[in-house]
Structure 1
Amino acid sequence: MQKLLRLSLKKIGEFEIIGYTDEEDKGVILEFPFLGNDNQFLSNNFQNIKCAAIGIGQIKSSALRKKVVDQYKNAGFHFPIIISPYAIVNENVGIGEGTVIFDGAVINTYSSIGSFVIINTNSTVEHDCNIGDFVHLASNSVLSGNVIIGNGTFIGAGATIIQGIEIEHDVIIGAGSTATKNCFAGKTYIGVPAKLL
């Protein structure tokens, strides 16, 4: 996800990117240097830099992303909304801070997207959906109209959520699954139709 995020930032062209942080030095990536791990970077006291983007994806839990966001917020950083110029976001859509929308994604009218959400490549959010914070929609996932997604939920690649379904917080919907019924907090669902694992 880090590389996709960097490419999106370059395409947008509104930000000067000084580099990236990580647990280990992966060298120069897409022209951007390594700045140390998060603790090292924050201890260097970059007073003129107060904008960050989170390049951490999610599979089992959003806990690491939340931890990093809290660390940077406590240091006074803010998180812009990042929307690829190749995504479609229709009118009357609300989007929270730190949310990233990648190439080919479509967000339709009267949907509400929380903070620090990842809407990955070619994902679709139809009309009147409500997506909580720290949700990850993997590539090619589809939310039909009037879907509710709770905080911290992961929707796998190619998964479909049928019209009007509610997915509670911290749920995992497996890749390629189709949710035809409401899904309960903290559970994992797989298959077509999606069933509790």
Structure 2
Amino acid sequence: MKNKLLIIGASGHGKVVADIAKKMNEWKSISFLDDNKRIDVSMGLQIIGTSDDVLKYIDDFDIFVGVGNNSIREKLQESLEAIGATIPKLIHPSAIIGNNVEIKPGTVVMPGAVVNCSTLIGKGCIINSGATIDHDNLIEDYVHISPGAHLAGTVKIGNGTWLGIGSIVSNNVSITKNCKIGAGAVVINDIEKGGTYMGVPAKIFKD
């Protein structure tokens, strides 16, 4: 771990990431890279270049991808890993993390989130504000669990899946990769086919 943090992405999600990093108080300085050349400051922090400049900073900074889109975040993080970047995980001080929980690099756990015991959260995930993940869950890489989403025990969420705000996943349910679960949807059965699911109970809307 280095004493400086560089966040790729200075818009909405990147701002929240920066706010969490500030509250963690583990880095002496925090800066952004962003491809919008019309701005040079965000959240009071300097934007010191674009994403193409990342190699200039790889030796001196921890680097975190602050992009909300799952597929873009995956592409950026995988490229950082390929060049040997040091990628931290960010956990807001108000989050509750149980025993025997593993959280992999590039994941952010936001304010008020709860991750209960014996859960594995993959790399590059977003566990958003007030989301709850109960015991023995497996959250694969680059998943976004939106604010107020609730996962019961022994749930599996596949790579790149997005759970909308206020969605609910019942216990012992598995959701395959690259799904979108709509806001307020309730998933009570396994989802084995990628696509968009909505409603109570959740049903496929399109694939």
Fold in common (TM above 0.5): yes
Aligned residues: 192
Shift of residue 174, structure 1, vs aligned partner: 0.6
CA distance in 1, matches of 2:111, 2:32: 21
* Residue of structure 2 aligned with 1:54, choices 65, 74, 83: 65
Shift of residue 175, structure 1, vs aligned partner: 0.9
Q: After superposition, what is the alpha-carbon deviation per residue over 1:96-131, rounded to whole angstroms, capped at 9, x for unaligned?
A: 111110000000011111111110000000011111
Q: Following superposition of structure 1 onto structure 2, how do residues 34-183 of structure 1 map, counting pairs within 5 Å?
A: 34-39=47-52, 41-42=53-54, 45-46=56-57, 48-58=59-69, 62-183=70-191
Instruction: Answer whether contact 1:103 1:121 (CA < 8 A) is retained.
Output: yes
Q: Which has the higher strand share?
A: 2
Amino acid at match of 2:68: G
What does residue 14 of structure 2 align with?
A: 2
CA distance in 2, matches of 1:47, 1:126: 36
What does residue 192 of structure 1 align with?
A: 200
Q: TM-score, normalised by structure 2?
A: 0.88
* Percent pairwise identity: 33
Does 1:11 find its partner at 2:23? yes
- Give the CA RMSD over aligned residues: 1.4
CA distance in 1, matches of 2:64, 2:48: 14
Alignment CA distance shift 1:32-1:159 (3 Å): same
SS at the partner of 1:20? strand
Unaligned runs of 5+ in 1: none
CA distance in 2, matches of 1:52, 1:102: 18
Q: TM-score, normalised by structure 1?
A: 0.92
Runs of 4 or more consecutive aligned structure 1 residues displaced over 6 Å after TM superposition: none
Q: After superposition, what is the alpha-carbon deviation per residue over 1:121-147, rounded to whole angstroms, capped at 9, x for unaligned?
A: 000000111110100001000001110
CA distance in 2, matches of 1:95, 1:35: 29
Unaligned runs of 5+ in 2: 1-12
Of 145-154 and 176-185, the range deviating more from structure 2:
176-185
What does residue 36 of structure 2 align with?
A: 24
